[in-house]
Structure 1
Amino acid sequence: MPALPDPTPASRALRAGPDQRYRQYAPCRQLAPYVLCYWSMRADADSRDATRVRVVPDGCLDAVFDPHGILAPVGMQPSAPGVFLTGIMQRSAVIGFAAPGAVFGIRFRPAGTGAFLDIHVQETTGLRLNICDVMPDLSARLEDTLLAAPHGMQAVIRHMEQALLHRLAGVKSSPPLAHAAVAAFAQSHGSLGVGSVAMRLGVSPRHLERCFARHVGLSPKQFCRIMRLHHALHMLRSAPDTPRWCHLAAETGFADQAHLIREMRTLFGATPTELQNEHNDVAFIQYDMPDLR
C-alpha cells in the first residue's frame, strides 16, 4: 500500500477564492499526478442567499461531498444528500445553497481520474453520476471515513487521501502520453495544434487523439477550446480597465471579437462583459486558471 500523505493538509492550503468561503488545498506528493486540488465551500446562515458560484468547464472531473443536500443549482431542485461525480462539464452552471452548511470536493486532473473509475472517462462527460456506480470500492471507503471524521478540513482531507491511496494500491500509473499532452496544450493556453504536440511527443496525430479522448474524456480540440477561454477570462479579470476586445480576442487565439463573445457565451454561460460585471456577486470556483502543467 502506498505511504500515507506526507505534509499535513493545513500546510498545503493553496488559496482562498475571491470569496473567503471557498478554499483550495494541494494534494500530497503521491496523489499529485492524479488530483489537482481539494476544495471546500461553505454557506453561513446569514449569507447563504448571496453565496452563489459560477462553475465553468475546466477539463476536470470532481467528486462532490454534499452530505446534507444543500447544493442548489439555480433553476433546479436542490441536490439529494450524498456523494456524486460531476463528469467533464460542457456548459457553465450557477450553484447556490438551499441551507447553511459546507460541501467538499476532489478535483481530479485531466487524465488522472481513470485510475479511480470503473468506466471510461468519456462516459462521464456532461453527466452527474452517483459515485457508488463508478467508484464503488472508493465510494464506500470515502463515505465511511468522512462520516467518522471530526469536523474540520484537515481531518476531511486526511481521510480522503487515505481512501484514495488505498484505491491506488495495485493500480497502474496514469498514462504519461495523456499527461504530457495535457501539459503541452495547457502551457500554450490551447494555441498548439494536435500535429505540433504529436510531433513533439513522437507519436502520430491519430494516436494522440485516441489516447487523449480515452484518458481525458475530451478531444484535444475541445480541451484547447476550454484552455483558450480560461486564458481570455484570466486576462479579462486581470485588466485594470475595460479591455480592447479586438486585442483580447487576438491575444487569446480567437478570430475576432464576435468569435470570443460567442464562444464565451456558449461555454461559460455569459458574455465577457456579463462575466466581468458579475464579479462582485458570484464567486468563481475556478477563479484562477487551473495549473495543468
Structure 2
Amino acid sequence: MLTQFLPSAPLRPYVQCYWRATGLAGEDAGGVELLHPDGATGLLFNFGAALERNGERVQGGCWIDSPKRRTARLKVGQELDLLGVRFLPGMGFPFVGEALSVLAGGEMLPGDALRRLELETLHERLRQMPDLAGRLAILEEYLQDRLRHGERAPPTLPAALEWLQRCHGQGSITALVDELPFGQRRLERLFQRHMGLSPKHYARLLRVAHSRELIKQGGAASSLTDTAFAAGYFDQAHFIHDFKAVTGFTPGGYLDYARRRYGGEAQPTVGRHR
C-alpha cells in the first residue's frame, strides 16, 4: 500500500509529497516495483526488511535517492515499511546542499554520504517515534530547518521547468531559451546544479513519461504508432530508442507489462511508480 501526504504550506513549493509504503510483496508483479525517473530527488528511510534494487542488495537504512536517468527496479520483501520525502524536480538543492550533478546517476546514496545532513541520526529519531503523525512532524521540522539555511533556486528555474512540463518535453530548448532573460549556457548550468540533468535530458524523461502514461491509459486499444506521434516523435526508431533507454522496455514490451498489471483497462496517472 502506497500512501501520500501533503507537506505544510511553506514546503509545498519544494516537496511533492511525503509517502509511506507498507505491506507484502505483490504476487502479480513478483514483488518488483518500477521506479521511473522524473528528474526529482528524495530521501528514503527503511524500517522493514532489506531492499534489493536493480538486482543488488541495498545496504543501510536511509538514503538520498539521487536523480535517475533510467527506471530502477525495486524488489520488495515480505516486511515492507518505507517512509520517503519526494522533492519537486529541481527543488531538492536547498535540502541536500550539494550540486545535483555530483549526486546524479540513479544510485541511492547511503545516509552517511553527506555527513552534514545527519540522516542516520534523523533515521533513528524516526524509528523511535511509534506513530506516523509523529514521524511526519519530525520530517517537517527537519526540512524547514534545512530550508531556512539552504540556497534556493532562482525563480527562472521553476519557470523553465514548468514550460518543459507543460509541453511534455516536446518543445525545443531553443524555444525555451527565447522565453528566458538569459542564454542557453546559463540554463545548462542551472539545470546541472539544481537537477543533475541537462535541459535536453530532462525533456527526454518527460517525453518518455508522457508516452508511458498514454500506453497505460490506452490499455489493450493502445496504438504505439499513435502514441509515438502524440509524444512528439516522428520517427519510430527514435521513439523506441528513447523509451528503451529510459525504461528498459521497448514500447511493445511495456504495453504487455501494462496489460498484465492493469488488465487492459484505462488507468489514472499515479505518481512516478509502475
Change (3 A) 1:35 1:138: farther
Task: Tell me the secondary structure at the aligned position of residue 96 of structure 2.
Answer: coil
Instruction: Please give the TM-score of this superposition, normalised by the length of structure 2.
Output: 0.87
**Rounded Cα–Cα distance in structure 1 between residues aligned with 2:170 and 2:25:** 44
1:37 aligns with 2:17: yes
Range with bigger deviation, 125-134 or 85-94: 125-134
Show the counterpart of 1:54: 34
**Rounded Cα–Cα distance in structure 2 between residues aligned with 1:149 and 1:159:** 9
Q: Which residue identity does 2:109 align to in structure 1?
A: L
- How many Å apart are 1:103 and its aligned residue? 0.8
Paired residue for 2:7, among 27, 30, 40? Answer: 27
Change (3 A) 1:84 1:56: same
Whether the aligned pair in 2 keeps the contact of 1:111 and 1:175 (CA below 8 Å) is no
**Rounded Cα–Cα distance in structure 1 between residues aligned with 2:259 and 2:74:** 16
Show the counterpart of 1:12: none
Change (3 A) 1:149 1:33: same
**Rounded Cα–Cα distance in structure 1 between residues aligned with 2:118 and 2:158:** 23
Change (3 A) 1:82 1:231: same
- How many Å apart are 1:134 and its aligned residue? 2.4
- What is the number of equivalent residue pairs in this alignment? 266
Task: Tell me the secondary structure at the aligned position of residue 112 of structure 2.
Answer: helix
Whether the aligned pair in 2 keeps the contact of 1:67 and 1:81 (CA below 8 Å) is no
1:288 aligns with 2:267: no
1:186 aligns with 2:165: yes
Show the counterpart of 1:142: 122
Q: Which residue identity does 1:44 align to in structure 2?
A: L
Whether the aligned pair in 1 keeps the contact of 2:215 and 2:224 (CA below 8 Å) is no
- How many Å apart are 1:74 and its aligned residue? 4.8
1:111 aligns with 2:90: yes
Task: Tell me the secondary structure at the aligned position of residue 42 of structure 1.
Answer: strand
**Rounded Cα–Cα distance in structure 2 between residues aligned with 1:212 and 1:82:** 29
**Rounded Cα–Cα distance in structure 2 between residues aligned with 1:47 and 1:270:** 21
- How many Å apart are 1:198 and its aligned residue? 1.8
1:246 aligns with 2:246: no
Show the counterpart of 1:16: none
- How many Å apart are 1:287 and its aligned residue? 5.1
Q: Which runs of 5 or more structure 1 residues have no equivalent in the other structure?
A: 1-20
Paired residue for 1:216, among 192, 195, 206? Answer: 195
Whether the aligned pair in 2 keeps the contact of 1:52 and 1:282 (CA below 8 Å) is no
Q: Within 5 A, what are the aligned runs for 1:1-293?
A: 21-44=1-24, 50-77=30-57, 79-126=58-105, 127-134=107-114, 136-139=116-119, 142-152=122-132, 154-279=133-258, 288=270
Range with bigger deviation, 253-262 or 215-224: 253-262
Deviations 1:144-169 (A, max 9, x none): 430232233x3322221111112222
Whether the aligned pair in 1 keeps the contact of 2:23 and 2:79 (CA below 8 Å) is yes
- How many Å apart are 1:100 and its aligned residue? 1.2
Whether the aligned pair in 1 keeps the contact of 2:53 and 2:73 (CA below 8 Å) is yes
Task: Tell me the secondary structure at the aligned position of residue 146 of structure 1.
Answer: helix
Instruction: Please give the TM-score of this superposition, normalised by the length of structure 1.
Output: 0.81
Q: Which residue identity does 1:194 align to in structure 2?
A: I
Whether the aligned pair in 2 keeps the contact of 1:231 and 1:289 (CA below 8 Å) is no
Change (3 A) 1:62 1:171: closer
Q: Which residue identity does 1:111 align to in structure 2?
A: G
**Rounded Cα–Cα distance in structure 1 between residues aligned with 2:26 and 2:246:** 32
**Rounded Cα–Cα distance in structure 1 between residues aligned with 2:103 and 2:114:** 9
How many percent identity over aligned positions?
24
Q: Which runs of 5 or more structure 2 residues have no equivalent in the other structure?
A: 263-267
Deviations 1:115-174 (A, max 9, x none): 01232111111132123322624525522430232233x332222111111222233433
**RMSD over aligned Cα atoms:** 2.5
Whether the aligned pair in 1 keeps the contact of 2:44 and 2:83 (CA below 8 Å) is yes
